[in-house]
C-alpha cells in the first residue's frame, strides 16, 4: 500500500517536515535548571520561568535538546530598576575548545539608563565579532521577543521580529562559520560588574538584590532530520532577508547601534576582518 507521502510534491514534503518541527515549548519540559539552586524557578506548569541573582550566586538553565539550524524565540522581561553590573544571557552554544556560539547578552544599567544588547558570533572557538545596540523600548516593563535565526547561509538576530544584526556565511573568504556543531540553548543571570556597566565603572548595588529576569513563550522551528534541502520554504531558511527585513535592519542599525567591530579602526588598524566586507 502506498504511504501518504508518496506522490506529494517535494516542496510540500519539505513544508510538512518543517511544520511538524515547529512548536511552542513547555519550559519545564524543554529546559533544565542547571545552577543557582532555588534561584531558578518554574511557574504555572511550565508557562513561566525566572532566574535570580543575589550576592551569593546567580542562576541558569539549558535546553534538554540540541539544535542544528532553526529559529529560536524566547520572550524575556529583564531585571527592573537599578540593574547595573548584572548580565542576562540568552544564547546557543556547542561544547569544547573549538565551540560555536551565537550570543544575546543584556547588560544592565542604573535606573533610567538604557540596557545595552550585546551580540556576538563564535565559530570554531573564535569570537570577537561584537555588535551592541540600545533598545527602542524599556525591556523591563513588558515581555519582548528575542530571536535567533540560524541556517547554513546566515545568522539573524531579531527583537520583536525586527532584524538588528545579520551575520552572513563568509567561508569563501576563509572565515569560519557555525554550521557543523549542534548547539543547546542556554541562559543565565550573573554578576559582571568588573566590565558590564560603563566598562566596570558602575558596580552592582547589592542592596537592590535579588535581581530577577523572567522568561516565557519559548518557540522553536527547526528541521526534523536533514536540512540539506528546502532552504527557501520557511522565512528562517532563506539565504537573504527580504526587502522589508533589509529596511528594518537598516533602521535598527542607523538608530540604535552603538558599537560595531567592523568599524572599530583602533582595534583593526591594519584592516577589518574579511567578513565585514560581505
Q: Catalytic: which of 66, 101, 171, 275?
A: 101
Collapsed DSSP state (helix, strand, coil) of residue 182: coil
DSSP string, 233-248: SSGGG-SS--HHHHHH
Contact 52, 210 (CB under 8 A): yes
Q: Is 105 a catalytic residue?
A: yes
The single residue of 105, 130, 171, 240 carrying the catalytic annotation is 105
Distances in Å between the Cα of 42 and the Cα atoms of 52, 56, 104 are: 12, 21, 22
Which cell is 74 given? Answer: 524566547
- Does 101 participate in catalysis according to the annotation? yes
CA gyration radius for the chain?
19
Which of 131, 103, 169 has the alpha carbon at shortest distance from 262? 131
Residues annotated as catalytic are 101, 105
Amino acid at each position: 500500500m502506498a504511504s501518504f507521502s508518496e506522490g506529494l510534491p517535494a516542496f510540500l514534503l519539505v513544508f510538512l517536515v518543517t511544520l511538524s518541527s515547529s512548536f511552542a515549548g513547555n519550559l519545564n519540559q524543554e529546559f533544565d535548571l542547571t545552577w543557582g539552586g532555588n534561584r531558578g524557578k518554574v511557574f504555572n506548569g511550565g508557562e513561566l520561568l525566572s532566574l535570580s541573582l543575589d550576592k551569593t550566586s546567580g542562576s541558569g538553565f539549558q535546553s534538554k535538546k540540541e539544535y542544528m539550524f532553526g529559529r529560536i524565540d524566547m520572550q524575556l522581561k529583564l531585571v527592573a530598576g537599578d540593574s547595573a553590573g548584572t548580565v542576562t544571557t540568552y544564547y546557543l552554544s556547542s561544547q569544547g575548545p573549538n565551540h560555536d556560539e551565537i550570543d544575546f547578552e543584556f547588560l544592565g544599567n542604573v535606573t533610567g539608563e538604557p540596557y545595552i544588547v550585546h551580540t556576538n558570533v563564535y565559530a570554531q572557538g573564535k569570537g570577537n565579532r561584537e555588535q551592541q545596540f540600545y533598545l527602542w523600548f524599556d525591556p523591563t516593563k513588558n515581555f519582548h521577543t528575542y530571536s535567533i535565526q540560524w541556517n547554513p547561509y546566515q545568522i539573524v538576530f531579531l527583537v520583536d521580529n525586527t532584524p538588528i544584526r545579520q551575520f552572513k556565511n563568509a567561508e569563501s573568504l576563509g572565515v569560519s562559520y557555525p554550521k557543523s556543531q549542534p548547539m543547546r540553548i542556554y541562559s543565565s543571570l550573573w554578576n559582571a560588574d568588573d566590565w558590564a556597566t560603563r566598562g566596570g565603572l558602575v558596580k552592582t548595588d547589592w542592596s537592590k538584590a535579588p535581581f530577577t529576569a523572567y522568561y516565557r513563550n519559548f518557540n522553536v522551528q527547526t528541521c526534523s532530520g536533514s536540512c540539506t534541502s528546502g532552504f527557501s520554504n520557511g522565512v528562517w531558511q532563506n539565504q537573504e532577508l527580504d526587502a522589508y527585513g533589509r529596511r528594518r535592519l537598516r533602521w535598527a542599525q542607523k538608530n540604535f547601534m552603538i558599537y560595531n567591530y567592523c568599524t572599530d579602526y583602533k582595534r583593526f588598524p591594519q584592516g577589518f576582518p574579511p567578513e565585514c566586507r560581505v
